[in-house]
Chain A
Amino acid sequence: MNKKTDLPVMLPKPVQTPQALSSLSYWHILPLIAAMMIIPSLAFSAAGDELKSPLAVLKNWIPLLLEGFVFNLIISVCAMAVGTAAGTALGLGQISPNNSLRRGSWFVTQFFRNAPWLVLLFFAMFLLPFELSIAGIIIPLPDWFKAIIGLSLPVMANVSEIVRGAIRSLPSGQWEAAESLAYTRRQTLWLVILPQCVKRMLPPWVNLYAILTMATVLASIVGVSEVMTLTGRALAAEGGRPELLAPFYGFVLLLFFAYCYPIARYTLRLEKKFAVIN
């Protein structure tokens, strides 16, 4: 296209794209975190010469902390699996034609959705027995298992709402069309409704997973040895030097950020991809 003209007014207006969050790339944030971790340690570097510098100490502990972080991820994946399975059942219960089942599912969903995560975690920790004996066989329930149960409860309630919302968001014509084709209710759900819902449920579900991953650190408060607990122990093992605190906690922040930020970006992409255009 020839853009040369005597009249600038005739030129097409330059397209101004609003700067959305998704335009932020990694390198905008990495320097920020690096500064956050280095500056406080510099402030103390004059304190003692024979002590190792905070970053060198941190380097020693990184393998252990990473191990703890992997444990966090395992907890999050397990809790997500349990929560999704239970939540889907609960969500389907919320749209069941049976009145009492619907009411019951609704109540359970609201109950676990409105309780603080930490309180639910305490619930699971203290109210579950430390071992179960079924028919003479004693099954121990370790802490991390209870943490998974405790974290999967709010996940269950949230998944239930996601399922219900997705099913409700389908036009009722889908149900009617399936009915007119003589599908039974079960067939309608499995063959017509749910396949369409998966697409709508995916973005909020991934989002929920990111939230859950960030909530796994709560398990440290109730004594599961995941990354936060290990950080505390590492700091204690180094004699509680105050200049170590900022790099260590900064490192944990960085770990979670590195894991959750790509997920957030991915959710945005999914949302755009599956955006329902009406």
Chain B
Amino acid sequence: MARALINMPKTAPAGSVIEIKTLISHPMETGYRPGPDGRLRPRDIITEFVCHYDGAEIFRAELSPASAANPYLTFTTLATASGTLRFTWSGDNGFSQSQDVALTVT
């Protein structure tokens, strides 16, 4: 499993805007680079990132071959109710990873 770092507050007052930062370890091989043998290295990128807040989608990003390795995505959301945020990255070669982080709204 790729290492992912998710940084967000554990608790937040109801109605406040919270910032979520995500970073995941991934080579993001573009598919345009030749390897040592002169042939193109096959594309291997994360194509999609989705964040669900208690089952409801709150953020989605489509990534392209121009994205840097170890993609870093940051976004904000409104803290409405205590619940779980589920972060899902998926991409080439069946790459799929999910991570859950709990948020307590006070």
Question: Are A and B co-members of a single complex?
Answer: no
A contact residues vs B (CB 8 Å cutoff): none
